[in-house]
Amino acid sequence: MELKEQVQEAAAWIRTRDARAFDLAIVLGTGLGALADEIGEARVIPYDEIPHFPASTVKFHAGRLVLGELEGKTLLAMQGRFHGYEGYPMRQITLPIRVMRALGIQRLILTNAAGGIRPELTPGSIGLIRDHINLMGTNPLIGPYDPELGVRFPDMSEPYSAVLRGLARRIAAEQGVTVHDTIFGAVIGPAFETEAEIRMLQILGVDTVGMSVVPETLVARQLGMEVLALTAVTDQSLPGAMVSVSHEAVNHVAAELGPRFRALLRAIIRTI
Ligand code: HPA
């Protein structure tokens, strides 16, 4: 079945469960899923019930849609996401973004856990992604072209909305929370980086490195959606001071940062 038909079927199926009009969507990354539990009037749909959605295979990712109300907005939250390293094709990983657009959603907040590779990006700090470098060696927009999927050659001069970034910075300042402007480097994973790879990433101008966000941003931009992306820096790797990183540690730091991160997200959702 063609991608656009999968998108239509999934969107139509979700509408049968929840006919509300959504103001925005949010993707909650590793260790950051707790925000979905604060959503009111919630309708919860496990991914494996939705036609054409892959099943989430990552520990610490709940793997469900939570539809409901938060801070006066009606939102669609993904509690857990799909990654390239799970073995799904990039087009499948990003299907939910296309489904969001088919449901009429224009604005997308992405969150993720990532490693800091600059001295100031210590575990527990928050990054605001200004731009990215796609080092995944693939792209979710590869494949047969159909105008209904968006433009063939999407513009990437402003992948992350300057307006939304300004708003996030202003709200963070009001809350006394420091957010770091970051260039995010996306790698395919699932192995964490070697010291030589960290050195390479630094030379390339990367500030934070992770295994998600970029495929979703590429698809969202192809569809003309506005994207805001916030990172929980969960570990730090610096050449000469490499420490061992684990998924457990990443999840632990993200969860610890959680209350501060959630307060920022809620204020952004209220204001957006
Ligand atoms: N590297 C890649 N992905 C990550 C990291 C990291 O250090 N931390 C969390 N996700």
Which tens digits make up the pLDDT trace of 109-153? 999 999 999 999 999 999 999 999 999 999 999 999 999 999 999
Nearest to 226 by CA among 159, 172, 152, 141: 159
* C-alpha distance from residue 121 to each of 42, 69, 238, 252 (Å): 35, 33, 10, 17
Nearest to 228 by CA among 194, 264, 263: 264
Give 253 Cα–ligand 1 centroid separation in angstroms: 12
The minimum-distance atom of ligand 1 relative to the CA of 211 is 3
pLDDT digits (tens, 9 = 90+) for 16-41: 999 999 999 999 998 889 999 999 99
- Contact status, residue 197 vs residue 144, Cβ threshold 8 Å: no
Band of the pLDDT at 189, cuts 50, 70, 90?
very high
The whole-number pLDDT of residue 61 equals: 62
The whole-number pLDDT of residue 47 equals: 94
Give 74 Cα–ligand 1 centroid separation in angstroms: 31
Residue written as token pair 């698809």: 219
pLDDT at 254 over 90: no
For the chain, domains (ranges, CATH) are: 3-271 (3.40.50.1580)
Q: Is 192 in the pocket of ligand 1 (CB under 6 A)?
A: yes
The whole-number pLDDT of residue 60 equals: 59
Q: H/E element holding 170?
A: helix 162-175
Residue written as token pair 């500030």: 207
Q: Is 236 in the pocket of ligand 1 (CB under 6 A)?
A: no
pLDDT digits (tens, 9 = 90+) for 80-102: 999 999 999 999 999 999 999 99
pLDDT at 56 over 80: no
Whole-model pTM: value is 0.96
Residue written as token pair 């973004």: 97
Q: Is 115 in the pocket of ligand 1 (CB under 6 A)?
A: yes
Q: What is the Cβ-side half-sphere exposure of residue 121, based on CA atoms within 13 angstroms? A: 28
Q: Is 113 in the pocket of ligand 1 (CB under 6 A)?
A: yes
Give 153 Cα–ligand 1 centroid separation in angstroms: 29
Q: Is 103 in the pocket of ligand 1 (CB under 6 A)?
A: no
Band of the pLDDT at 164, cuts 50, 70, 90?
very high
Band of the pLDDT at 249, cuts 50, 70, 90?
confident
Pocket probe mutation, ligand 1, options 207, 208, 234, 251, max atoms within 8 Å of Cβ: 234
Q: Is 207 in the pocket of ligand 1 (CB under 6 A)?
A: no
Q: Is 212 in the pocket of ligand 1 (CB under 6 A)?
A: no
